[in-house]
Amino acid sequence: MLNPEPFLQAKMKQNGLPKEEEKENEKKETEVGGTKTCEFCQETIHVKATRCRYCKGNISVTSSDAKEYFTVLKKMRKDHVTGEDVASVDIQFKDQILKGSVQQFINTSAMWVAEPTLSTDDLLSVLPQLENQVKMYNMKANKSNMGLVELVQFLQKEYEELLKAYEEMKKNGIISYHMLQLLFIPGLKIFGFESGMPVGSEITSATHTRLGFSRVFQINGNVIVSDGEEFQEIVKQFIIPEYTGSMQVTKLPVQPMTDEMMDTLTKRGGLFNQYGIGPHHLSYKGVILYRSWFMTHRFTADGRIMIDGASFAKINPNYTGSSGAVFNHNKHSNKHGAGFVGTQLPKENWYKTWPTLRGFAFSCKKWGEICIENVSEIKFDDTAFDKLVIPDENKLMIKSLVVNTEH
C-alpha cells in the first residue's frame, strides 16, 4: 500500500502553508521582533524580511536615519511589474505636531496611523505649501513646530539639485516627466482637454502612478456638471503619459491655467450656468456626442436643440458619459451630498464647468451631449407670415382666426 505522506507534503508545498501553521509562524515572528506589511500584497510579514513569502516581492531597507521628529528610511526594492531595481526614500513621522502640519496638505488614509510613513516624492509635491507655512508663522522661533522646519530643510537638501534644475527648466518653459510633481502642485488652476474641448479645474492631488502597464502622472481636480436639476461637483482625473527627455509645457495634455484660457472657460461657464438648470430650446451648430463603453458617436445636429438633463436621465438611466457621473435625481439626498453645489454658480467657479450639457437634437432626432459653446438663442422671423405665398384673402382669414383665438 502506498504511503500518502510524500504526496500530501508536495501538495502542501504547492498550495502554501496551512492556515494554522501560517498563524503560528506569524505569532512567532511577532514574538521575535514584530511584523510589517508587504508593500505589494499587503500581507503581514516579519519586520526584518527582505522577501515576501506570499507574493515573492523583494523588500529591503538599506538604511535608517532616526531624527528627533521623523525617521528617514531608504529602500531598494524590485518593481513588481517591470522587475527593475527602484530606490525610494520614505519619511516616518514620530512627532504628532509635525504629523498634523503635513495632514493639512496630504490627508490620505496613510496619515491616520500612529506613526505614518510617506514617500519623499509625495512630500515634494507639497513642499511649496510647507515652505509657506514655515514663513507665515515664523516657525523658527517656535520650538513646538521645529519638526516642520527640519522636514522642510531635509527636503530642500535631498532635492537640492533637482530643485535647481527645475528652476532652470521653468525659465525656458520646459519640463521633464520626473519634475511634473514640482509644476502641478495642489491648489494650482489647470486645464486639460476632453474630446478636443478644454476643461478647467483646480488640483486637489497629483502623483506618479501606473495605468495598466504604463507609467503616468495623474492629476485629480474637481469639475462642475449638471443633471438638469442642480449643479454637482465631481472628481476628474487628468492624465499625462510618461515621456522621455523634456517637453514644452505648452504641449502637455494638461497645462497650468493661462489668462486667455481662463477668459474662454469663464465665458463658456456663463452659458453653462444660464442653461444648466431646466429645459431650454435653443439654436445649435455642430455635432452632439453620445458615448458608449467602446466608442464615442458623433451626430450632426445643426438646427434646433433642447437642453434637458432631467429628461435625458429618465430615457438614458445608465448613461455615464465622459464625466463618469451617473446622477442621483433624489433631490433630498443630493442636497445633503458632498458634491451638491446648488442651482446657481458663483462667477469664480465658471471656469470649472463641464463643456457639455445633455439634451435632444431635433434635426437628427438623437439624445446626447451638447457642446455648450455652440448654442445660441433662436432668432424668430417676425416677417415670415408676410412672405407666405398664398392669396391675401386666405392670409387675412388665417390671421383673423389666430388673433380671435388668442383673445
Q: Which of 360, 345, 107 is nearest to 223 (CA)?
A: 345
Domain boundaries, the chain: 1-59, 60-158, 178-379
Which residue carries 488614509 as its cell? 109
Task: Judge whether residue 19 has pLDDT over 60.
Answer: no
Grid cell at residue 177? 516627466
Phi, psi values for residue 401, rounded to 5°: -65, -45
Of 382 and 375, the structure prediction assigns the larger pLDDT to: 375
Task: Judge whether residue 193 has pLDDT over 60.
Answer: yes
The Cα-based distances of 88 to 5, 65, 85, 113, 161 in angstroms read 45, 14, 10, 21, 17
Of 21 and 294, the structure prediction assigns the larger pLDDT to: 294
Q: What is the per-residue pLDDT for 134?
A: 84
Q: Which of 309, 305, 310, 265 is nearest to 288 (CA)?
A: 305
- Do residues 353 and 224 lie in contact, with contact meaning Cβ atoms separated by under 8 Å? yes
368, with CB counted inside 10 A (0-12, 13-18, 19+), is buried
The Cα-based distances of 405 to 279, 312, 397, 400 in angstroms read 27, 34, 12, 8
Q: What is the per-residue pLDDT for 62?
A: 59
Q: What is the pLDDT of residues 294-334, one digit of tens each?
A: 888 999 999 999 999 999 999 998 887 755 544 444 443 34
Q: Using CA atoms, how far apart are residues 288 and 299, in angstroms rounded to an integer?
A: 5
How large is the average pLDDT for residues 137-143?
61
Q: Which of 110, 107, 243 is nearest to 180 (CA)?
A: 243
Q: Using CA atoms, how far apart are residues 272 and 274, in angstroms rounded to an integer?
A: 5
Q: What is the pLDDT of residues 198-253, one digit of tens each?
A: 999 999 888 888 888 888 999 999 999 999 999 999 999 999 999 998 999 999 99
Q: Which of 163, 162, 166, 185 is nearest to 175 (CA)?
A: 166
Q: What is the per-residue pLDDT for 207?
A: 84
309, with CB counted inside 10 A (0-12, 13-18, 19+), is buried
Phi, psi values for residue 293, rounded to 5°: -70, -15
The average confidence (pLDDT) of the chain is 81
Among the residue ranges 43-57, 258-272, 387-401, the one predicted with the least confidence is: 43-57
Q: Using CA atoms, how far apart are residues 238 and 221, in angstroms rounded to an integer?
A: 8
Grid cell at residue 85? 531595481
Q: What is the per-residue pLDDT for 353?
A: 96
How large is the average pLDDT for residues 13-19?
48
Q: Which of 338, 340, 320, 347 is nearest to 232 (CA)?
A: 340
Task: Judge whether residue 32 has pLDDT over 70.
Answer: no
Q: Using CA atoms, how far apart are residues 228 and 369, in angstroms rounded to an integer?
A: 12
Q: Using CA atoms, how far apart are residues 377 and 194, in angstroms rounded to an integer?
A: 25
List all residues 6 or more positions away from 286 whose beta carbon is below 8 Å from its beta carbon.
300, 301, 302, 371, 374
- Do residues 283 and 375 lie in contact, with contact meaning Cβ atoms separated by under 8 Å? yes
Q: What is the pLDDT of residues 105-119, one digit of tens each?
A: 887 778 888 888 888
- Do residues 289 and 356 lie in contact, with contact meaning Cβ atoms separated by under 8 Å? yes
Which residue carries 458617436 as its cell? 297
Q: What is the per-residue pLDDT for 361?
A: 97
Of 227 and 12, the structure prediction assigns the larger pLDDT to: 227
- Do residues 230 and 340 lie in contact, with contact meaning Cβ atoms separated by under 8 Å? yes
Q: What is the pLDDT of residues 35-46, one digit of tens each?
A: 766 655 667 777
How large is the average pLDDT for residues 167-179?
91
Q: What is the per-residue pLDDT for 251?
A: 95
Q: What is the pLDDT of residues 334-365, one digit of tens each?
A: 433 346 678 899 999 999 999 999 999 999 99
Q: What is the DSSP letter of 323?
A: T
Phi, psi values for residue 125, rounded to 5°: -65, -20
Q: Using CA atoms, how far apart are residues 324 and 29, in angstroms rounded to an integer?
A: 45
Q: What is the per-residue pLDDT for 2?
A: 44
39, with CB counted inside 10 A (0-12, 13-18, 19+), is middle
Q: What is the per-residue pLDDT for 125?
A: 80
DSSP letters for 339-402: TEEESS--GGGGGGB-SEEEEEETTTTEEEEEEGGGEE-----TTTTTT--S-HHHHHHHHHHH
Q: What is the per-residue pLDDT for 111?
A: 83
Q: Using CA atoms, how far apart are residues 76 and 297, in angstroms rounded to an integer?
A: 48
Highest mean predicted confidence (pLDDT) among 22-36, 53-67, 121-135:
121-135
What share of the chain in percent tops pLDDT 90?
A: 39
